[in-house]
Structure 1
């Protein structure tokens, strides 16, 4: 059969040609592709030309071609070092080592990467015992020098120079050592020696730039960095150092341009990230700085410069506790760093731990060379602790050291004001304004001090003096408006606030002043319109939204409060301040789910923020999630390791969780932090009483009395403990002493109870009657008197008293419950309805459940009675009266076996309670088959 010709001969021919070409080209392409070795050689050439990014691309291709190549890994490590990407360089160096590359060069690359990351000790530890390699010796010398081990650094550099006298890296190392030892000329000599042999040596040029920079010649340093970049345009460190210099020279645009160039090709570089954060911090963008530092420290947690900067950033943001943790971490590694110690003291003062701040500063206060700033910080700490005399002394010493500081003289004036030396205080504040007529801090302090002393004319004089020197500052006119308002001149005050706003339409303080004037004139609508107008011009003003929320709060308009706080939080969903306020508002308005959701979203950006953890715990408690709340407060206690209130929350939740053993440990820890923490002392004493150790509780009461002899709490606690020991006669003097210090209805009731238990019923009735005559609106005491009548079996009088209470407080669940008891005893048909109302108001109270359950037994609804009483028994398993009522309900429902089981448990225990005879009778009846 003849072969069938192709349907499309030309198409088939073209296809064959294409296929043939593909077959021929494939081997040719394979032949033309460079080998991994050729690519490595090309990369080395590119590195020598300063094209590090090009070298990186070629080396990655070489690795694709030969994945097992240790040499490629090593070259990648060196190239990443060239680019300043120490993190990736470390990774590649370790890969080269693990896969068997020559240990000397690979360890040298690893050590250089670790030194670049600031992990100097690790660099020495991980390369100890390595082979004799010049680059490794230099890297170890650099690490030793950074750790202050000058002799070891010198030995490392000299070891290299003994074999290679002109080794540039070793000579630069010797130059850096000379700088540390104060031999500046020798340092320049080492740099010049390298540059004489090779004027393009970038390490020597970089070192020379550092030298002239240290000599306060920034423009020369910039020129030298430019020489480096002319030789090696991709030298990331040169760009970074130029950015550093530009930051110091207050040239942020140049700094950002250099950082943008440095970030090309390796945006994750540690040095670039740190310097970007420093630029953001110096240009008042702390939020941006914190975001960058978070990434840097996530990659390299022990980069100490970033740790120190993170502390400074959080301090500026007002996150005092977080900043404290950073400064403490830094000082663990660098205990002699004065700057970090000062910053830690500022953080502690900011978080209200003035005594801890003083302890941090104490070593520097004893130093021979006194520092005015240290003295000023110590004085600030004393001011916070109201130790005004000590603060004044420290401010005076600081002012003597720095007689030109208006800030220190202002502090001296304020401390003298705290001492009560008002005339001298004003003199010091006036002196501060004389030292610096442009100091807004000193001027404002003088104005506010005079206002506080009701010296309104002097306050106006001070404000006018500021106005003469700084007429363009809105703060000055706002201060003047404040003084004029205090003088009762609202029109003039209004003009000053308006002038401040004209100077700066975004100056909220002036708008707030105008709004307050409207409020003072009883014009809340006008006050609101002023803030709305300000907000229309400044649409992202969180302050204005918060002000509108405050006005809504004054009007009891919770919906508007929520609206404005939601608007404020929406301006920056990650901002902590508005978010915390909104979260608290959600809790105030019983929107626990929203509060919890918001707290969790904010925690993504602020995982250790104490306010958020506290609000999250409150929201979880509001939802009844006790275990989750406990976890939140444990996190809070970890975030605030010296906070007694935070740990007290943990202890309280342990008590609620019925975990007294751990609660006791927590309470003791609270008192170790703050020995005079009253609620911890009271709870620990209560624990001691419950565990049968009243004498330990009495020791706590005695300690409270000695700590606070004019406080009632210690004496009241003593009375409570003695009452628990059934010693009412001994408790009475303690209660009377407490009552003399602090007259309250609670103590009046406790005294009445002690008198009754001591058998002095008539005296108790008389004293309680006198209290109620003097305090006819004391509903708590009225309800208590009703309870005493219930105890005496006078249900009619008790019911009348409780009805009077409920006319004033119709939702008082305790009063409703007791009234239901009275109605039941009186045979009043309203008993069940009243008990139902009490349960609606307090659905988790076992005593309220018990009342309703017992009434239901009496009305014949045994089935429901069992359900209600079982729930009450589950909440209060040790309450014997509830258990007896449950047994009676079971018997009435026909469950005789269940009833016997409950009665047997009661009979096997302590039978000293009111219904003991009823228990015996019911048990006997059931045994008899009744």
Structure 2
């Protein structure tokens, strides 16, 4: 518009054709100085044009804040042309801007009398009424404006805004929809559309409109406030903090937003931030019960129960009839151990009769905590009478029965809760827990699955299904449910703990570390996360990093033994034995009878060659935990290191007699062999594997011992027993094939070939297979296998002797002789040297 009208000006066309349009175009762009530079009164101007020029200049002065000059120009315009619409409208705008609404309306009405289609005059009247909260008159004026121009955006926006101010939300919807049909990107229209949708609780619709506003106007504070409210209601407190935080920074005096922001900090477990924020607006709010209650709650969350309760008591003094304040005070008293006064405060809240179900719930829970079960039952039954339409009282009654192990009554109450609300998840979870306790695993599973249908990702349901799978012995299914719980709730201590323990037990230490890091990232302030990350790091031999986490753990809980012995273990593994000794002693001082503490103290002393100390700790371990094999095993190994093999053996045998155990059986066997009591060793291991036929290690050491002592029949039988449970054990197959071959047993070929197929590159196995083939008449085939083995391992002299025999058997005597000559030259001493020498003499 400016360009077109300026072109007319430069072409020196008549002023009346362009002067007002040019001036208005500049005014709308706030180019007030250019108006004053380029638009001036000329002597030849007609009175009407003169009035227009003076009015435009008056509005320019008004835009620059020079109100006196503006009034002077409007007055001159009206002096020359008393009915000048431009002058009266300009003056009316100036008056309205300065709060002189009645006079502004008077001038605008005069314009309308002269021109009933003056949209500017009608809008000015409507806005003047609106800002004075004369909402009925404003709506009438906006309707009049819309009769003049049905698509007028200012009129539609003004009417919608006025209806919203009057809380006439349904009437506001039509002008907002009209605006969005005209242009879906109008920022105020989208804001009001979101606001109205929020009033109707159409949260998703509201969010779409409000996000459209933010895309166009990222700093719009009203929109941030509404979006923050939406996210708060959803429980998305991090997102709410971002939106509300922007509003609070810009409007630090807006108490409702301050209050919401403090609540967000509390929800995010940031009580110190809530306190800092609330105390920044303490002036003028110390007589505000809501402010005091929020500040008191924040102090309770920091553990400052005295100050927290003090603020809550002040809030109750100001608002003695607010049941919710008494309920909060009760929580503070519970935290300080004042259960009696907490119950009194809750009873007072209930007696106020404000239908604050939370107070009744807390009262019942307080009775249960104090083990006042009869009072809890009475309170729950009273709550059922007060709220017969709610499943919550029945669920609480069931909980009261459950803690008293009255399972049938508890089940009836939980089922009554489901009769009111079939989708009440808590009752399903409680019924599932009862079913697990009574062994009805199918029933438990159905309840947990029902919860997941309505509440996908429920941690309790997922972990419950894991427990069901564990009870059924389905390890992989259990891990599947625990992994699902961890994926949805990486901050969950129970899911992370069970998953990490299972992974460490199965040797998946890297996976355990990944889970531990995810848990730590999701719950950075959790000591459970710090502990588990330390455990996973230790399992991955990252001793220094583990020590850092265990140090944090021990600093946070200096009066608990576990952090100290975990720290001591990391220090031991890191090589700092002095620190390890110091901190394991501290752990034992805190908890002298701790099994893990005594166990670790024994190991640390043994690793530090303080064998007498280690022996004392091992003795304490046996004395306090006689049913555990660990003490006997450690004592035996320590005594053996002290060159006391008989005493070590006796420790193993004593432990084995008290608590037969695989580790002790193997240790006692080795100790008996060491002191040359071989028959006793075989007798012990025979008894053990007879009762534990799946102990592969036990069968192997027994078979090898028997083989070494020439007890071939029993050795073969034991190898065959091992083959039944471990058919691919290459050492067993190799030894069994050799023993079969010594007896010319044709089974030797199949067994030796099975071993060879497991690892054809293993020269000792290839030697057995090749020699068995040669011995059993398959000489050509055996020769090939032995040649390959000899090339791979020329210093395994038995292979070369067997190769020479194979050459001789196929008639390649010259090659056999060469091989024997080289062998006797290279090998000055090997078990078959005499045989090799004799053979060479025969074939010279």
| TM-score where L is the length of structure 1 | 0.52
Unmatched runs of 5 consecutive residues or more in structure 2: 6-20, 38-61, 76-86, 113-117, 653-660, 668-687, 710-714, 733-758, 767-790, 796-844
Aligned mate of 1:385, from 302, 320, 332: 302
Please give the residue correspondences for 1:805-820 in structure 2 after superposition, counting only pairs within 5 Å: none
Give the deviation of 1:511 after TM superposition: 5.7
Say if 2:409 is the partner of 1:409: no
- What's the counterpart of residue 277 of structure 1? 194
State how far apart, in whole Å, the 2-side matches of 1:155 and 1:654 are: 70
- Contact preservation (8 Å) 1:710, 1:741: yes
Distance 1:525 1:682, change over 3 A: closer
> What is the CA–CA distance in structure 2 between the aligned matches of 1:714 and 1:759, rounded to whole Å?
24
Q: Is 1:453 aligned to 2:453, yes or no?
A: no
Which of residues 455, 468, 483 in structure 2 aligns to 1:542? Answer: 455
What is the aligned partner in structure 2 of residue 801 from structure 1? 663
For 1:293 and 1:287, locate their aligned partners in 2 and report how far apart those are by CA, in whole Å: 10
Give SS of 1:302's match.
coil
Aligned in 2, Cα 1:168/1:438: closer, same or farther, shift over 3 Å? farther
Distance in 2 (CA, whole Å) between partners of 1:733 and 1:833 is: 48
Counterpart position of 2:587? 738
Give distance in 1, aligned partners of 2:308 and 2:138: 44
In the TM superposition, 1:601-616 aligns within 5 A as none
Alpha-carbon distance in structure 1 between the residues aligned to 2:234 and 2:416: 30
Q: 1:761 aligns with which of 611, 614, 636?
A: 611
8 Å contact kept, 1:315–1:323: yes
The within-5 A match list for 1:504-519 is 507-509=424-426
* 2:252 counterpart of 1:335: yes
Q: Which position in structure 2 is the counterpart of 1:553?
A: 466
Structure 1 residues 419 and 723: alpha-carbon distance in aligned structure 2, compared to 1, 3 A threshold = closer
Q: Which residue matches 1:399?
A: 316
Correspondent of 2:226 among 280, 284, 309: 309
User: 1:312: how far off?
Assistant: 1.9
Return closer, same or farther for 1:709/1:479 CA change in 2, 3 Å cut-off.
Answer: closer
Distance apart, 1:738 and its partner CA: 2.0
Give the 3 Å change call, closer, same or farther, for CA 710–754 of structure 1 in structure 2: same
The question of whether the paired residues in 1 share the 8 Å contact of 2:229 and 2:240 is answered with: yes
Q: CA deviation at 1:373?
A: 1.8
1:882-897 alignment runs, 5 A limit: none
Secondary structure (helix, strand or coil) at the match of 1:365 reads coil
Q: 1:442 to 1:360 in 2, by over 3 A?
A: same
Secondary structure, counterpart of 2:65 in structure 1: helix
Contact 2:448–2:462 (CA<8 Å) still a contact in 1?
A: no
> Is the 8 Å Cα contact of residues 383 and 391 (structure 1) preserved in structure 2?
yes
Q: Could you say which residue in structure 2 is the equivalent of 1:884?
A: none
C-alpha displacement of 1:362: 1.8
Superposed CA deviations along residues 607-640 of structure 1, whole A, max 9, x for unmatched, are xx999xx99xx99x99x9999x99x989997x99
Shift of 1:422: 2.9
What does residue 347 of structure 1 align with? 264
Q: Would you say 1:210 and 2:130 are equivalent positions?
A: yes
**1:546–1:369: structure 2 CA closer, same or farther, 3 Å change rule?**
closer
Q: Distance in 2 between matches of 1:685 and 1:518?
A: 39
> Aligned equivalents of 2:422 and 2:217: distance in 1?
44
Would the aligned equivalents of 1:716 and 1:735 in 2 still touch at CA under 8 Å? yes
Alignment partner, residue 345 of structure 2: 428
Deviation at 1:349, TM superposition (A): 0.8
Question: Which sits farther off after the overlay, 342-351 or 777-786?
Answer: 777-786
Partner-residue secondary structure (3-state), 1:301:
coil
CA shift in 2, pair 1:529/1:720, >3 Å: closer
TM-superposed CA distance for 1:506, in Å, is: 5.1
Q: Is the 8 A contact 1:239 1:258 kept in 2?
A: yes
More relative contact order, 1 or 2 (CA 8 Å, 6+ apart): 1
Question: Residue 584 of structure 2 contacts residue 600 of structure 2 at CA under 8 Å; is this kept in 1?
Answer: yes
Matches within 5 A, 1:667-682: none
Change in Cα spacing, 1:221 to 1:335, as seen in structure 2 (3 Å) is same
* Shift of residue 350, structure 1, vs aligned partner: 0.7
The structure 1 residue matched to 2:181, chosen from 256, 261, 264, is: 264
1:588 to 483, 486, 491: 483
Please name the residue that 2:65 is paired with.
155
Inter-partner Cα distance in structure 1 for 2:436 and 2:168: 46
Match of 1:444 in 2: 361
* CA distance in structure 1 between the partners assigned to 2:553 and 2:25 by the alignment: 68
Larger Rg, first or second structure (1 or 2)? 2
Q: After superposition, where does 1:519-538 map in structure 2 within 5 Å?
A: 523=440, 525-526=442-443
2:509/2:536 contact within 8 Å kept: no
* Per-residue deviation, residues 286-328 of structure 1 (Å, max 9, x unmatched): 4444444444333432222222222222211111222222233
C-alpha change, 1:653 and 1:524, in structure 2 (3 Å) is closer
User: In structure 2, what is the Cα distance between the partners aligned to 1:400 and 1:310?
Assistant: 35
CA pair 731-222 structure 1, distance change in 2 beyond 3 A: same
RMSD: 6.5
Match of 1:361 in 2: 278
Contact 1:345 1:361 in 2 (8 A): yes
- Deviation string for 1:549-578 (max 9, x for gaps)? 5653342189999999xxxxxxxxxxxxxx
- How far apart, CA to CA, are the structure 2 residues paired with 1:635 and 1:160? 68
Answer yes or no: is the 8 Å Cα contact 2:530–2:549 preserved in 1: no
Q: What CA distance in whole angstroms lies between the structure 2 residues aligned with 1:755 and 1:292?
A: 69
- Deviation of 1:441 (Å): 2.7
| Structure 1 residue 752 corresponds to structure 2 residue 602 | yes
User: 8 Å contact 2:383–2:393 — kept in the other structure?
Assistant: yes
Q: What displacement does 1:278 show?
A: 2.9
Distance 1:359 1:486, change over 3 A: same
Q: Distance in 2 between matches of 1:780 and 1:277?
A: 68
Provide the TM-score with structure 2 as the length reference: 0.56
Q: After the TM superposition, which of the residue ranges 543-552 and 220-229 deviates more from structure 2?
A: 543-552
Distance 1:464 1:393 in 2: 33
Alpha-carbon distance in 1 for matches of 2:638, 2:321: 72
Q: 1:481 to 1:735 in 2, by over 3 A?
A: closer
Q: Is the 8 A contact 1:485 1:493 kept in 2?
A: yes
1:412 touches 1:428 (CA, 8 Å); kept in 2?
Answer: yes
| Aligned mates of 2:581, 2:381 — CA distance in 1 | 62
Retained in 1: the 8 A contact 2:228–2:241? yes
Shift in Å at residue 407 of structure 1? 1.5
- Does the CA-based 8 Å contact 1:154-1:174 persist in structure 2? no
C-alpha offsets along residues 798-817 of structure 1, whole Å, 9 cap, x if unaligned? Answer: 9973776999999999x99x
Q: Check conservation: 1:782, 1:801, Cα contact below 8 A.
A: no
Residues 547-696 of structure 1 mapped to structure 2, 5 A cutoff: 552-556=465-469, 588=483, 683-684=547-548
CA distance in 2, matches of 1:588, 1:810: 34
Mark the CA change 1:512 to 1:408 in structure 2 (over 3 Å): closer, same or farther: same
Aligned-partner Cα distance in 1 for 2:476–2:66: 67
Q: Secondary structure at the match of 2:257?
A: helix
Q: CA deviation at 1:753?
A: 4.3
1:561 and 1:318 map into 2 onto residues whose CA distance is: 35
Partners of 1:423 and 1:412 in 2: CA distance: 12
Q: Which whole-Å CA distance do the structure 2 matches of 1:455 and 1:756 have between them?
A: 52
**Aligned positions, number:** 630
Structure 1 residues without counterparts, runs of 5 or longer: 1-39, 41-68, 73-100, 112-126, 135-151, 179-185, 565-581, 600-608, 661-678, 687-700, 838-855, 864-890, 896-930
